Chain A
Amino acid sequence: MSVYKMGDYHYDNQTVRKFIYSSIFWGVLALIAGVWISILFWAPGLNGPGWLTYGRLRSFHVNVMAFGLVLGALIGIFYYITIRLTKRPLLFPKIARFTVYLFNLAIAVGGWGLLMGYTKSLAYNEFEWPASLLIVILWVLMAVVILGTIIKRKEEQMYISLWYIIATVVTLAVIYVVNNLVVPAGLFKSYPVFAGVNGANVEWWYGHNAVGSELTMATLALFYYFLPKSTGLPIYSHRLSIIAFWSLIFAYLWAGAHHLVYTPIPDWIQTVAIAMSIFLIAPSWGSVVNGFYTVREDWGRMRTHYLTKFFILGITFYGIQTVQGPTQALRVVSSLIHYTDWVVGHVHMGAMGWDALVITGAIYYIIPKIYDTEIYSEKIANTHFWLVLTGQIIYSITMWIAGIQEGAMQKAVNPDGTLKYTWDQIVAKDIPYWQFRTLGGVIFVAGMLFFVYNILMTVRKGNALVASKA
């Protein structure tokens, strides 16, 4: 590694690589935890004491997935994209390298803490305050590197992906800092400054926009960069990108309270959030249309360029996701499916369908580029693709059916107005769906392991190439 000097692309490429490897490491742990907790749904006797209990492993799964796998991959890929779109190395390469270690430290501290039972109990923000503090420092340093590099760019115009990167950096900074305003009570415990209904309103303003920035804006930054790169086709409409961008980042921040429909927060906040959720279909589909029309120039590339299908199927699931989400916000739909497995299916379609396909597709593109070689095996990449697609579809569909069933059984009444089903009867009917969900999860994870293998083999090939050149 010492052959790479600071300030050249090779040095920054090493930073990108380290982020990608770290994120794969955390991702594998989080995936295993995910499959395991899905088994606990139909084999509850396997729950152990302490960190082996569902409640702790569940928060480990969610937070290590969101912050370990996704955030790690995104920071690395942001660096990669920024270098290329600004036509210069990173402005502070040493700080960028330092963020890799800071990142791993934050996830290790936070993830370990969750297994020990140290949690803030705020959705998507469960790491206790020491880990959150590390993440804030990480984010600030990363923002300095990325914004600094953009300011000192060698390319006049900022391409669409840079807009989304800037929006992600700013949004996540604002929401994460506000939702982490806590009073520490020792190293392992803190209490938020916000209480009750106000706390709920702040939390879902955060929760919705954590997804909105990390899993939407950031992933769109990747999509707008790697779709044209992998297909060789220019984005269909620049004007549509502009309209979609500004309306998306404007509307997203209004919609958080659709997570709180029928709760005791003021009705007007719920209603405004529902209306803005419906509005969000437009900018979301702006990007979907832009993606489809880009490839419409030559659909044959879905066959000939193996990466094209990762991005096109990814944006397809994004499209379904962004119709399903606003629909769920409607009061009548919410009353049936809120608090059921339907929502679990919804979240996992986004994560396993949209984010996983786009992020792994981006990594398939980046790793060979860094080594100036080709991917180890397109065949394995295709196997990976079909497995994660199948796994995700089994997962989402079984959870949608289970969710509707749960909602309907909870609402069912006898002719005399009494409830038709006890809770135990409702749970009993869920078991086969939960077993199918595990099957979907196992297939998905198998696909992801093919991906990891393919990347490792590409790296091996690349290292051999570097050695032969030296």
Chain B
Amino acid sequence: MAKNIYSKPVLFTILATLTILVGTVVTMFVPMLTAQMHPKLEGLKPYTALQLAGRDVYQSEGCPFCHTQTVRPLKTEVERYGHYSLAGEFYYDRPFLWGTKRTGPDLAREGGKYPDSWQYAHFEDPRAFAPHSIMPSFAWLKKIKLDPAQVETHMKVLGFPYTQADISALAGKTELDALVAYVQTLGTAVTVKAQATVPVTKKMTHVPNPLAGSHEAIERGEKLFEQNCQACHGKEGVGYIGPSLRDKDIFLYVRGNVPDDDYFEIIHNGTHPGGIEDGRTEKGGMPSFADTLSNDEIWSLVAYIRSLQGEK
């Protein structure tokens, strides 16, 4: 042991390097050479110019610090967000933006969950939608215009297809426009979810609201309304992003009242473009509150909405 490796620095450095390379080669380098690390979902499309610009904003503003983009294959996660994430969804993601922390909810299935108008309003004032939200307001992104030439450079570097019309359409668009466009693409390549089964309700009989007219229910409904509905339907249901709820004569854009249990179903299931509720075609845009509200709470809301319409 007179001359061991601890007195031969060059040999020592080579041995140390080889030692760290074993795990590197087996778990990182070799898998990279195989197809399992480069899967692509059928129907997955590269980002458009506007979506990519939005993805850049998503990176710049550090959105991945609070929002993940991977739904784990766990029962409650699939229940909360939708189908678990698939390896093939991320083929065009450079870099991947899975994140490490959920201060806010996962966004892997955010695309199409709410209408654009909801996304804009939420980015501007998150606490109007979730009273305890700690998300910063991103209203200031409205003031920053995109630079079409820069976006074009980015598209070129990534090799995504685009036309000159796509680029010139960016003129005048803001960073918030781009961010909304990007968020609306998240998870849209995975269509295994509810959209595939647009609910069609054909019922001849109707169930009345078991809590109709209850003073307690109306009060409870009012609180729930402020927390869950006001941001879209306006204060006391006068209408904003979503339609007015005060006028029972025009509902789901058609003249004529709908029964209590149809209200219930719309709150419970949400609406889906092309879905049919009691013979009326839905435009979509209303999110489902099945995970958020209990049946009793939904009936309380219906009671409150009726009270707004002047029904006792």
Q: How far is the CA of A192 from the CA of B90 in the complex (A)?
A: 14
Q: Which residues of A contact B86 (CB under 8 A)?
A: 264
Inter-subunit contact B63/A174 (CB<8 Å): no
Does A449 touch B at the CB level, under 8 Å? no
Contact A264 B59, CB 8 Å, known A120-B95, A259-B100, A431-B132: no
Q: How far is the CA of A431 from the CA of B7 in the complex (A)?
A: 56
Instruction: Among A192, A193, A197, A257, point to the contact of B87 (Cβ < 8 A).
Output: A197
Does A195 touch B at the CB level, under 8 Å? yes
Inter-subunit contact B133/A427 (CB<8 Å): yes
Q: How far is the CA of A147 from the CA of B9 in the complex (A)?
A: 8
Does A390 touch B at the CB level, under 8 Å? no
Contact A44 B94, CB 8 Å, known A54-B62, A253-B23, A265-B87: no
Contact A423 B105, CB 8 Å, known A47-B137, A166-B12, A265-B87: yes
Q: How far is the CA of A417 from the CA of B38 in the complex (A)?
A: 36
Q: Which residues of A contact B135 (CB under 8 A)?
A: 44
Inter-subunit contact B291/A418 (CB<8 Å): yes
Least CB distance, B63 to chain A, in whole angstroms:
6
Inter-subunit contact B94/A413 (CB<8 Å): no
Does A121 touch B at the CB level, under 8 Å? yes
Q: How far is the CA of A338 from the CA of B130 in the complex (A)?
A: 23
Q: How far is the CA of A216 from the CA of B76 in the complex (A)?
A: 36
**Interface residues of B, CB < 8 Å — how many?**
83
Instruction: Among B10, B90, B134, B158, point to the contact of A151 (Cβ < 8 A).
Output: B10
Does A263 touch B at the CB level, under 8 Å? yes
Inter-subunit contact B27/A118 (CB<8 Å): no
Q: How far is the CA of A59 from the CA of B292 in the complex (A)?
A: 33
Query: Closest residue of chain B to A62, judged by CB?
Result: B65
Q: Mark B124-135, 1 if CB is under 8 A from A, else 0.
A: 000100111111
What is the number of contacts between chain A and chain B, taking CB atoms within 8 Å? 254
Inter-subunit contact B136/A47 (CB<8 Å): yes
Does A256 touch B at the CB level, under 8 Å? yes
Contact A55 B63, CB 8 Å, known A264-B70, A424-B132: yes
Least CB distance, A282 to chain B, in whole angstroms:
15
Q: Mark A37-67, 1 if CB is under 8 A from B, else 0.
A: 0001110100101100111101100000000
**Interface residues of A, CB < 8 Å — how many?**
98
Q: How far is the CA of A41 from the CA of B135 in the complex (A)?
A: 9
Q: Which residues of A contact B19 (CB under 8 A)?
A: 246, 249-250
Q: How far is the CA of A158 from the CA of B79 in the complex (A)?
A: 57
Least CB distance, A141 to chain B, in whole angstroms:
17
Inter-subunit contact A256/B27 (CB<8 Å): yes
Q: Which residues of A contact B80 (CB under 8 A)?
A: 410, 419
Q: Which residues of B contact A202 (CB under 8 A)?
A: 28, 32
Least CB distance, A330 to chain B, in whole angstroms:
14
Inter-subunit contact B96/A197 (CB<8 Å): yes
Q: How far is the CA of A253 from the CA of B97 in the complex (A)?
A: 22
Does A335 touch B at the CB level, under 8 Å? yes
Q: Which residues of B contact A424 (CB under 8 A)?
A: 130-133, 227
Instruction: Among A50, A53, A157, A192, point to the contact of B6 (Cβ < 8 A).
Output: A157
Q: Which residues of A contact B140 (CB under 8 A)?
A: 49-50
Q: Mark A155-176, 1 if CB is under 8 A from B, else 0.
A: 0111000110011001100100
Q: Which residue numbers of A lie inside 8 Å of B, CB to CB?
A: 40-42, 44, 47, 49-50, 53-56, 58-59, 117-123, 147, 150-151, 153, 156-158, 162-163, 166-167, 170-171, 174, 183-186, 189, 191-203, 205, 209, 246, 249-257, 259-260, 262-266, 269, 272-273, 276, 335, 338-341, 343-344, 406, 410-414, 417-419, 422-425, 427-428, 431
Give 6 closest A-B pairs by Cβ, nearest first.
Answer: A55-B62, A196-B90, A253-B23, A117-B60, A47-B136, A254-B23
Besides A203-B95, A263-B70, 12 other CB < 8 A contacts? A56-B61, A58-B65, A166-B13, A174-B17, A191-B158, A199-B94, A254-B26, A265-B37, A340-B102, A343-B100, A413-B79, A418-B79
